[in-house]
Each structure stands twice: as structure tokens, then as C-alpha cells.
Amino acid sequence: MFIDLKKPISTYLEACEAALLLAKRPMSSKELAGFIETDVDFEVGGLTPWKTINARLSAEILENSLKSTFVRVDSGKFAIRKWPDAVEYVVAKRKINPINELIAVVPTDGFLEQLVKRPNSKFFDVDYVELFKNSQPMPRVDAEETDKFVQLIPLFFVHSEEGYLTYKRTKRLPEKRLHGTRSINFGGHLQVEDFPSLFANDPDVVQESLQRELREELKFEPDEKTVRFFGAIHDRANMFGRQHIGLVFEVISGSTVDVDTNEPGFLTSIEFASKQQIFEEKDQFDDWTFLVLDEHKINV
């Protein structure tokens, strides 16, 4: 049911609905922010309100599905679902990684010697290109049962003047222990069939494969960002830590760049948050988020 445009508007979603009804056409989040500012009695805050609008609309559509007031009709464009010509834009479905997928691992023997512990830090320095060159395929179901091999997990954290890009994991992700958690680290296991070039001897080929991993999860418009290797996470104190190495990459994005998920069914509530906001909601975030934030504080 459409809102009553004569009544006060109190939320971003109501403001977006009002803007679409008044404009009578689909709009991008940037167009919505501009239209609301000039034609709707609602104050949009922040330096980049269109990013907040995009996050709220995406979350509302994901949560309510066909019952949502809104519908995405093109990449980055929204409309009123009940409009007769509103055809939903369908994003290509992501293939869920099966438990028997072949993932990239390295033997524990010889691996530990490659790690260089940073002083007063939980991070390590490592030649990640060399790790990929020495990696081998292994069924994930087998890798999860042993600590004689270490699983390679490339992770990307994005930050700009607005803070750190955060997201919430949905129940469609295969790892149940992570359902509903928030994080600043994008990425995950590497399927060998998708990344055969990771076993090449050319560092540029390895770098391009990792960039492709980032592009599969996030889109940057315009594509203006800087990516650098940040360090490695490896904790020998527990089985999970011994089985994995997080290869962390820092992504610096300009404040005028729009960043959004390419996997709306798996990652939702994409929005920037300050370090203070993240720590205030600490119980919602995974442990590796705070390892990265603590190390970033050291390095900036």
C-alpha cells in the first residue's frame, strides 16, 4: 500500500517511496538522494547519503522479497514494486561452494618457516605469491578434518574517509557458524577450478586472480581504488586457526566512489561505519574484524 504523501515522513524508506511516487520513474540511489533533498520534506544526512539509501533499499528488498515495497529494476536502479512496468532485475546467481569443492591449501610442513611475526602484533608478514605457487588442490571436506594442511583465505577490507565498509552475512552462505554475523573482511576459500592461474609462477597473474576475486564480491563505480597486501592472520592456538591463513589486502577507496555488493543474496546491509561504531556493536562482528582493525590502527 502506498504511503500518504500528506503525512510526515520519518524514515529513509518512506522518503524513497515518496520520491519514487512523485517522480513516477525508477531512480538510482544518487538520483533518489538528490530528489529527496529538493522535493521531499526529509533531511538526508552524511556526506554520501546515496550510500545509506542504497544500503537501506537493498536490505529491505532482501528481507521482504516479493512483499517489499521496492524492486531493483536495473543494476543500481530502484522502483515501486506495484508499478505495472516494474520488472525485477535478476543478478546472476552465485554458485554455492559445495563441501567437496577443491580448495587451495599448503602443507603445514615448511609453511610456518615462511611466516615472519610482526613485533607487538598478531599479524605475520609472508610472501603470499610464493604461498600460491606452492599450493595444491584438496577437497574441502578433507581439509576441514586435518591441520596438516593450511587453507588459503584471501580477504579484502575496504576503507575511505567515511570509515570501513561493513556487511552482514545471510543464511544462504554455506558456513552456518557465520550466519547473521557482520564483518569488514570480504572474501573466502579459493576454489581451484575458478582460480587455476593461482598456481602460475607469474606474480602479475596471481595478482590479477586476486583482483578478480574482489570484483566478484564488490563493484566500485567508478573503479577507482588502491589495493595492497596488508598482512597475514594465522593463529596456532586452536584447530580453526591452525587450518587457515587469512591473507589480508587493504583496499583504499575514494569518498566519491560507490561501493556495492555483487552478491546481494549472500552479503547484505553494505554500509560504511567508523571504527568507533564497529566497536560499539562488537558482539555483531566476527573476530577477524577486530584483528584487522587493531593492526590497521598500528599501521596508519
DSSP 72-117: EEETTEEEETTSTT--PPPPPPPPPPPTT-EEEEEESTTTGGG-EE
Residue 265 sits in a domain whose CATH number is 3.90.79.10
Q: Per-residue pLDDT tens for 93-130? A: 555 555 568 888 999 998 999 999 999 999 999 998 88
Query: pLDDT digits over 41-52, tens only?
Result: 898 877 778 878
DSSP 8-state symbol, 285:
B
CA distance 161 to 170: 27
What is the extent of the structural domain holding 272? Answer: 102-299
DSSP state of 54: H
48 and 154: one domain?
no
Of the residues 45, 80, 115, the one at which a domain ends: 80
- For residue 296, give the amino acid letter: H
Domains of the chain: total: 2
Q: Give me the pLDDT at residue 130, please.
A: 87
State whether 113 and 245 are in the same domain: yes
- Say if residue 30 is in the same domain as residue 179: no
Could you identify the residue written with the cell 567437496?
100
For 8-25, what is each residue's pLDDT tens digit? 888 999 999 999 999 999
Answer yes or no: do 110 and 74 share one domain.
Answer: no
Looking at every residue in the chain, the average pLDDT score rounds to 83
- Dist CA 249 CA 60 (whole Å): 30
Q: Is the domain of 136 the same as that of 274?
A: yes
Which three-class secondary structure state does DSSP give residue 177? Answer: helix
What are residue 264's phi and psi, to 5 degrees? -60, -20
Residue 94 inside a domain? The answer is no
Domain co-membership, 194 together with 107: yes
pLDDT band of residue 1 (cuts 50, 70, 90) is very low
One domain for residues 139 and 191: yes
pLDDT band at 164 (very low <50, low <70, confident <90, very high): very high
